[in-house]
Structure formats: C-alpha cells, structure tokens
Amino acid sequence: MKNILVKGIFGIGLCTAVLAGCTNNSVAPSTKVTPIEIPESVATGSGQFAFDFFKNLQATQPATENLFVSPLSLHMAMGMLLAGAQGETASEIKTALKLNDISEDDLQQAYKVLIRDLPIADSRVKVGLANSMWYKEGFPVKTDYTQGLKDIFNAEVTGLPFDATALAKINQWASDNTNKKIDKVLDSITADQVMFLLNALYFKGSWQSEFDPKNTKEAAYNLEDGTGKTTTMMFHEGTFDAASNDTYKALRLPYANGQFNMTLILPNDGVKIGDVMSAMKYTDWEDLQKSQLHGTKVMVGLPKFQLKYSVKLNKTLSQMGIQKVFLPGAELQGISSQNNLLVSFVKQDTFLGVDEEGTEAAAVTTIGIEVTSLPMVQKFICNKPFGLVISENTSNSILFMGRIMNPTLH
C-alpha cells in the first residue's frame, strides 16, 4: 500500500502565523520538518481507535475525574500482544484496534517508522518511544515471538527470576524511559505471572510561543457541578488556528516547529466536555483539521497544572470487544507452547505537566500475562473542564488525549 504524508486526526496542521507580543518568549520555528510516512490505512485506523478508546474509557470512569491517557502507547503495547495471539483472540484485538482492513506488513512497517522517526521529527521536541518484554526465567517463550518483538518493536527482551529484584528492574525501566515521571508501574509480581509487556512514551515540547510568566495569575475555575475554585492561569494573546461550532470551541497551540501540537477543546455553555469527547469521531476531527481551523486573534487562558493518572483498562477493552484474552483459553500460542496463558491486566500510568514554557507528558502501558491455575480578539479561557489532544502532524499519531476536570498544580 502506498505510504502518504497524513495530516488527519493525529496530526493538526502547522500554525504559520507569527504570534503577537511574545518576542522574548518565543521558540523560533525551525524550517526543517521531518515527515513521518505511514500507510493511510494504519493512520485512519489508529485515529478511529483513539477516539473509540477514549469514548469507552469515559464510560468506565467517574464523570468528575481527570482523565489522561496515551492511545499510541496502548495501541503499540496491544500490538506486541497481538503478535503472539491467534484465532478468535487475535480477531478481537484486531477489530478493537481497527486493523481488520490493514495488512500485517503495513502494520509492522508503521510501528517501525513511528519508533524510528517520532523521536527525531523535531529537534526542539523530545520524544521517547520504547518497548520491552520481561519474562520469568524458565518460562518457555517462543524464539519467533521474541525475535519479532526485537525486529518490529525494537523491544528489549529480558528473562529474570520474578522476585523483588525483577520488580525493581521493571519499575526502573519505566522510570528511565519517562524521565523519571513514572517511577512505578508494578506494586508486586504474583506467583502465576510469567510475562510483562511494556510500552513507554515520553514527550517534552516547548510552546512555539511561550506564555509570559508575568501574565500568570490566580483565576476562577468553574467545576462541572456548579461550584468554583481558584487555579493558576496562564494568559497569552496571539494569532492561533481556532474554530467553533454549536457544541465547542477548538484551538491549537503548536510546539517548536509546529509538527507537534496541543489542541484544546472547550465546551460551550451548558455542554459537558465528556459529552463532546464521547461524540467526537475520526471524521469530525478530520473535518475540523482540514477545513474549520483558521488563524484568529485570541486571548488564551490555560491552567498551569500537573497530574498523574493510573487506570486499569480491562473493562474498557472488554467494552471494545477484547474479551477472550482475559479468560482461560486465551489463544496466545504465538507467545509460548503452553496453552494456559491469559492476560491478567492491562493498565496505563501517565503524567502531564503544563506550564509557561510548554508541556511534559509520559505514559507507560503495562500488560501482565499469567498462567491460569487454571479580528476581534476572541477569548479562549479554559476556566472549566476541557479536553486536550497532543498529536504529530505527518504520521497522524495521537500521542495523548485528556479530559481535565479539576486542574491542580502540585
């Protein structure tokens, strides 16, 4: 299949306007853009998966909680699991990941390209993407499976006695690959657990035009239950790509050379951000990007905050149709000749920090495998729950998605 430069759901186009009033706080855009070319079918499927995943996640979580996850990290971790799945188990994973119309070669090539090219796409944005597989010494892992993880996912493969030392090493790997933002992904290793698959994604980008700290001040923030609080709000006036419709306003903030962006989604009065994010589909996002966002002079207000989030995804993935892999009889014969394997958990730990200089974000997805013992200045002030997406333009990759209900600066 032909590879194309995709500027779709995971990619929000370059903001070319020179932002006003920030000469001393701007990161001069680089003229060099490193396009990331993946098959269109993979880009489209990945985008559909991202929004379907977030919609189902919201349905399993309390409506008042902050949510922040990485569709890309989850997709890649599940891709490693898919490499060892067979039969109905593999079919369920492929359907949920929107891979039914995608060839194995196209998928593998896309993973390789993202792992190779995302970290070097913008010299002023730091992206780390790493994979690993840890197995219990003595557990018979098929050579074809481990070699595939190395070749396709550039994964580190390590066999260890599953004791306290192994626990420390796995957590250290997560910390090392997220700039110490996620220092623990496992609390313990149980006797029946024989393998862990991990994906780590790290992002740090400076705004193309930074917020001036002199303009940061305490401001009111309206919670969805009608109460209010005070938060630390950053302000900046400039020209940004913006759009609005009957339910929300959207605005994108570029990082560095504009290849990576944060898109803010602010619901209109009387509309809940959860409803907006659940209703948004790939086609809506693509239309927003291609035809609705235009350079507009805007006063932006964005909370300065940090959050850590951890979520077990078994229920969410089950709602998306991935069920057999969690049950006895899971068809994971591609991993091992043992027929009594199942996935005990899929979880994701994330970090998000937003300040005047830019954004730092990290995610680790962990899959545990066990044996069964069986012109006017508009205002865009995020003073109420809002959504956000961090994306890369040319590969159509959504790195992170969030629903910020109650921002807090720690």
CA–CA dist 370, 100 (Å, integer):
27
Maximum Cα–Cα distance for the chain, whole Å?
A: 68
Q: What is the pLDDT at residue 288?
A: 85
Q: Are 393 and 7 in contact (CB under 8 A)?
A: yes
The tens digit of pLDDT for each residue in 99-113 reads 998 999 999 999 999
Q: Is 71 exposed, middle or buried (0-12, 13-18, 19+ CB in 10 A)?
A: buried
Q: Calculate what percentage of the chain has a pLDDT beyond 70.
A: 91
Average pLDDT for residues 167-188, to the nearest whole number?
A: 97
Superfamily of domain 213-303+376-404: Alpha-1-antitrypsin, domain 1 (2.30.39.10)
| pLDDT reading at 43 higher than 60 | yes
| pLDDT reading at 349 higher than 50 | yes
Q: What is the pLDDT at residue 22?
A: 30
Region for 321 from its dihedrals, namely left if φ exceeds 0, alpha if ψ lies in -120 to 50, beta otherwise: left
CA–CA dist 78, 264 (Å, integer):
27
CA–CA dist 58, 146 (Å, integer):
34
| pLDDT reading at 228 higher than 90 | yes
CA–CA dist 308, 361 (Å, integer):
10
Q: What is the pTM of this model?
A: 0.88
| pLDDT reading at 212 higher than 50 | yes
Q: Please indicate whether the domains covering 21-27+36-206+306-371 and 213-303+376-404 agree at the CATH topology level.
A: no
For residue 122, give Cα distances in angstroms to 38, 261, 394: 17, 12, 12
Tell me the pLDDT band of 375, cut-offs 50, 70 and 90.
Answer: low
Q: What is the pLDDT at residue 298?
A: 94
| pLDDT reading at 19 higher than 50 | no
Q: What is the pLDDT at residue 33?
A: 73
**How high does pLDDT run on average in the chain?**
89
Average pLDDT for residues 249-259, to the nearest whole number?
A: 93
Name the least confident of 121-135, 220-234, 370-384.
370-384
In the three-class reduction of DSSP (H, G, I as helix; E, B as strand; rest coil), residue 209 is classed as strand
Extract the tokens encoding 78: 């599940």
Q: Which parts of 161-212 fold into alpha helices (H)? A: 164-176
| pLDDT reading at 339 higher than 50 | yes
Tell me the pLDDT band of 34, cut-offs 50, 70 and 90.
Answer: confident
Q: Calculate what percentage of the chain has a pLDDT beyond 90.
A: 81
Break the chain into its structural domains and give their ranges: 21-27+36-206+306-371, 213-303+376-404
In the three-class reduction of DSSP (H, G, I as helix; E, B as strand; rest coil), residue 273 is classed as helix
CA dihedral angle for residue 107, residue 111, residue 117, residue 122, rounded to 10 degrees? 100
The tens digit of pLDDT for each residue in 75-101 reads 999 999 999 999 999 999 999 999 998
For residue 331, give Cα distances in angstroms to 56, 87, 186, 258, 343: 24, 6, 25, 43, 10
Amino acid at 335: I
| pLDDT reading at 30 higher than 80 | no
In the three-class reduction of DSSP (H, G, I as helix; E, B as strand; rest coil), residue 175 is classed as helix
CA–CA dist 260, 288 (Å, integer):
17
| pLDDT reading at 70 higher than 80 | yes
Secondary structure (DSSP) of 138-159: T--B-HHHHHHHHHHH--EEEE
Q: What is the pLDDT at residue 223?
A: 94
Superfamily of domain 21-27+36-206+306-371: Antithrombin, subunit I, domain 2 (3.30.497.10)
CA–CA dist 399, 152 (Å, integer):
19
| pLDDT reading at 379 higher than 50 | yes
Tell me the pLDDT band of 410, cut-offs 50, 70 and 90.
Answer: confident
Q: Which distant-in-sequence residues (6+ apart) come within 8 Å of 142 by Cβ?
A: 84, 334, 335, 336, 337
| pLDDT reading at 266 higher than 80 | yes
Name the least confident of 78-92, 316-330, 331-345, 387-401.
387-401
Name the least confident of 136-150, 265-279, 374-388.
374-388
In the three-class reduction of DSSP (H, G, I as helix; E, B as strand; rest coil), residue 222 is classed as strand
Question: How close are the terminal C-alpha atoms of the chain, in Å?
Answer: 47
What does residue 17 show for φ and ψ, rounded to 5 degrees?
-70, 150
**Helix (H) / strand (E) containing 318:** helix 314-319
| pLDDT reading at 270 higher than 80 | yes
| pLDDT reading at 217 higher than 80 | yes
| pLDDT reading at 18 higher than 60 | no
